[in-house]
DNA sequence: TGAAAATAAGTGTACATACATATATATTTG
DNA sequence: CAAATATATATGTATGTACACTTATTTTCA
């Protein structure tokens, strides 16, 4: 569906303006489908992201700042997302001995298991909803990085 | 900046997976810069979006459902965004006479004025931060719409 | 070395989203 | 026409974001 039809307007300043709205809508669209798939696994997209980041270092632990620096949304409030993962026993949180200001977070076995299932749901839905070839995706990546002139 | 550097990882399943993360990050990046510009004008991005939609019909009013159907994030809670705009006297809310279930929203003169200033801030920042030509933006629009295979 | 600055994490509050539910009104239909 | 259904909006609650501030700890350097 064209963005004109999604937003019910043709009132764009130019193609660049249209592209910015298209990026915002596509992001919303992705999150919407993603969260539907993850909900079946009892996770929100942000909880999933934190678990995915932790798996990348497992069995090592990560401090909150390290997790935050790998989040897509940089100002995510990682301590509060971790709060909810701790309640569900998907991660463990302990004070660091080397630097007592830090808390070290570890994904648990239960966390790994739930993440595994969630990842499968996600891959499955992505195969269904995404319509790009790898080569088109390459061009898209290049254009998005060009869009972000200053970073 | 490449998405690999932003997320401090090269652990992508394929280019399509990388592209989805790139879309999510670019959307965050756009919102981040946009909200900085709008903050100077005392508006949030969603409040700005609602005002922009209302200006499109001004001097006609719009009902809540019509506004919602033009929002980028479809499940935005429009009544509550309107609450805040009413408090700031940027919009007026009256019950419809034809259909008493509807509330009709009108942008006020103050709203138009504030929107005008905010739009200028936004155009200015966009000229600074966006690095695409119109032709590149056209390709980007095409690829984003191809990414969204089912809509 | 001891005071000042920097750093890591957590907390309080306003705004927004996601979703279920409530309320009022309008439309449909038996 | 009255009851059932549909529609438009609003509200309650959990989650998340943005940002300012607090607390605990570590590092810096006069």
pLDDT tens digits, residue range A102-127?
A: 999 999 999 999 999 999 999 999 99
Helix, strand or coil, per DSSP, at residue B57: coil
For residues B134 and A49, give the distance between their C-alpha atoms in angstroms, rounded to a whole number: 34
Best residue of A68, A124, A147, A150 to probe chain B, by most B CBs closer than 10 Å: A147
Tell me which chain A residues have a C-beta less than 8 angstroms from the C-beta of B130.
16, 20, 147, 149
- Residue B150 — very low, low, confident or very high, per pLDDT cuts 50/70/90? confident
Angstrom distance, B137 CA to D22 C1': 45
A74 pLDDT more than 90: no
Inter-chain residue contact A1 with B145, CB threshold 8 Å? yes
Residue B83 neighbours by CB under 8 Å, 6+ apart: none
Which residues 45-74 of chain A have a CB under 7 Å from nucleic chain C?
63-66, 68
A57 and A69 Cβ atoms separated by less than 8 Å: no
Burial of B52 (0-12, 13-18, 19+ CB in 10 A): middle
Q: Name the closest residue on chain B to residue A135, using Cα atoms.
A: B15
Inter-chain residue contact A69 with B139, CB threshold 8 Å? no
Rounded to 5 degrees, φ, ψ at B56 are -60, -25
pTM for this predicted structure: 0.95
pLDDT of the residue at A75: 78
Given 3-state DSSP classes, what are the helix, strand and coil percentages for chain B, each rounded to the nearest 5? 60, 10, 30
- Would you mind telling me the total number of residues written for chain A in this entry? 151
- Residue B79 or A150, more confident: B79
Among A4, A13, A26, CA closest to A144: A26
Query: How many H helices and E strands in chain B?
Result: 7, 3
Which residues 93-132 of chain B have a CB under 7 Å from nucleic chain D?
93, 99, 101-103
Tell me which chain B residues have a C-beta less than 8 angstroms from the C-beta of A151.
1, 6, 29
A148 in contact with nucleic chain C (CB within 7 A) = no
pLDDT of the residue at A67: 96
For residues A132 and A129, give the distance between their C-alpha atoms in angstroms, rounded to a whole number: 10
Inter-chain residue contact B130 with A20, CB threshold 8 Å? yes
pLDDT of the residue at B110: 97
**Positive or negative: CA dihedral A22, A26, A27, A28:** positive
pLDDT of the residue at A83: 96
Rounded to 5 degrees, φ, ψ at A30 are -60, -50
Averaged confidence pLDDT in chain B: 95
Tokens linked to A47? 């909880």
Q: What percent of chain A has pLDDT over 70?
A: 100
pLDDT tens digits, residue range B30-45?
A: 999 999 999 999 999 9
The full DSSP string for A3-17 is HHHHHT----SSHHH
pLDDT of the residue at A150: 87
Inter-chain residue contact A149 with B130, CB threshold 8 Å? yes
* Residue B76: nearest nucleotide (C-alpha to C1'): C17
For residues B55 and A129, give the distance between their C-alpha atoms in angstroms, rounded to a whole number: 34
Averaged confidence pLDDT in chain A: 95
pLDDT tens digits, residue range B72-131?
A: 998 789 999 999 999 999 999 999 999 999 999 999 999 999 999 999 999 999 999 999
Q: What percent of chain B has pLDDT over 90?
A: 95
The full DSSP string for B78-97 is HHHHHHHHHHTTSEEEEE-S
Tokens linked to B56? 């499109």
The CB-side HSE value for B34 (13 A sphere, CA atoms) comes to: 19
Tell me which chain A residues have a C-beta less than 8 angstroms from the C-beta of B69.
8
pLDDT of the residue at B93: 96
Measured CA distances, A49 to A144, A145, B125 (Å): 21, 22, 30
Query: What mean pLDDT comes out for the span A21-38?
Result: 96
For B137, the closest of A8, A9, A18 (CB atoms) is: A18
Angstrom distance, A101 CA to D22 C1': 14
Tell me which chain B residues have a C-beta less than 8 angstroms from the C-beta of A137.
14-16, 18-19
pLDDT of the residue at B11: 87
């Amino acid at each position: 569906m064209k963005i004109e039809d999604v937003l019910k307007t043709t009132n764009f300043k130019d193609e660049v303006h249209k592209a910015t709205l298209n990026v915002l809508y596509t992001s919303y669209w992705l999150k919407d489908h993603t969260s539907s798939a993850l909900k079946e696994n009892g996770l929100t997209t942000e909880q999933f992201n934190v678990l995915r980041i932790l798996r990348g270092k497992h069995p090592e632990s990560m401090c909150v700042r390290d997790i935050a620096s790998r989040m897509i949304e940089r100002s995510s409030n990682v301590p509060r997302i971790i709060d909810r993962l701790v309640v569900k026993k998907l991660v463990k949180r302990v004070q660091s001995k080397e630097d007592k200001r830090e808390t070290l977070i570890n994904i648990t076995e239960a966390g790994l298991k739930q993440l595994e299932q969630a990842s499968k749901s996600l891959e499955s839905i992505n195969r269904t909803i995404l319509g790009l070839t790898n080569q088109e995706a390459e061009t898209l990546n290049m254009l998005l990085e060009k869009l972000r002139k200053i970073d």
